[in-house]
């Protein structure tokens, strides 16, 4: 979907640029294509951004840089602009990827912090060990989405009467 949206966005930019060609000139249109690449970079990942750069370079070169309808670039300034498309795409794509990765890490940290806060708040209100084990068991189940058991030890021996969570077989109890 990001590539699909990028294609249609870049096609729209190309038609807009064609309409503006006689008003602002082909070199100013290069800046519009560069802005379009940076816009794609802010919404999509590295792949669509690089695609936008290639698309921009081809379209701008073929349809706008004199001589038009060829891939020849005779001016150093025009070549530098085409090269800047790729530099902008690489930098924009890398920055977007880094920001999304940091956002994901922050969401995970926020979730874990909220879970710990709720656990501490709930544990501060408990009246018995069994109630504390129940709260801990619910938290473990919600966070790790796995089956588990909480066992109590009294005087160096397992107290199987206070088992919380998944019921354990005799073999598992022997190992515990």
- Give pLDDT, residue 138: 87
Nearest to 40 by CA among 62, 65, 12: 12
Helix/strand/coil for 154: strand
pLDDT of residue 110: 96
How high is the pLDDT of residue 23? 93
Tokens standing for residue 121: 């708040």
The Cα–Cα gap between 73 and 80 comes to 10
Cis geometry, peptide bond prior to residue 67 (ω within 30 degrees of 0): yes
129 and 156 Cβ atoms separated by less than 8 Å: no
pLDDT at 162: 67
| Residue ranges in the chain whose pLDDT is less than 70 | 162-163
Spatial contact of 56 and 35, defined as CB atoms under 8 Å apart: no
């Amino acid at each position: 979907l990001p590539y699909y949206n990028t294609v249609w966005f870049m096609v729209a930019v190309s038609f807009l640029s064609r309409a503006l060609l006689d008003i602002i000139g082909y070199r100013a249109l290069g800046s519009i294509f560069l802005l379009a690449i940076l816009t794609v970079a802010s919404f999509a990942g590295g792949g669509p951004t690089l695609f936008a750069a290639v698309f921009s370079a081809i379209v701008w070169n073929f349809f706008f840089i004199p001589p038009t309808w060829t891939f020849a670039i005779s001016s150093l300034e025009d070549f530098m602009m085409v090269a800047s498309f790729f530099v902008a795409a690489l930098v924009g794509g890398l920055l977007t990827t880094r920001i999304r990765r940091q956002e994901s890490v922050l969401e995970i940290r926020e979730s874990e912090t909220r879970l710990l806060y709720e656990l501490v708040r709930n544990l501060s209100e408990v009246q018995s060990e069994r109630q504390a084990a129940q709260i801990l068991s619910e938290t473990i189940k919600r966070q790790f989405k796995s089956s588990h058991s909480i066992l109590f030890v009294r005087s160096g021996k397992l107290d199987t009467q206070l088992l919380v969570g998944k019921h354990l077989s005799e073999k598992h109890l022997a190992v515990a």
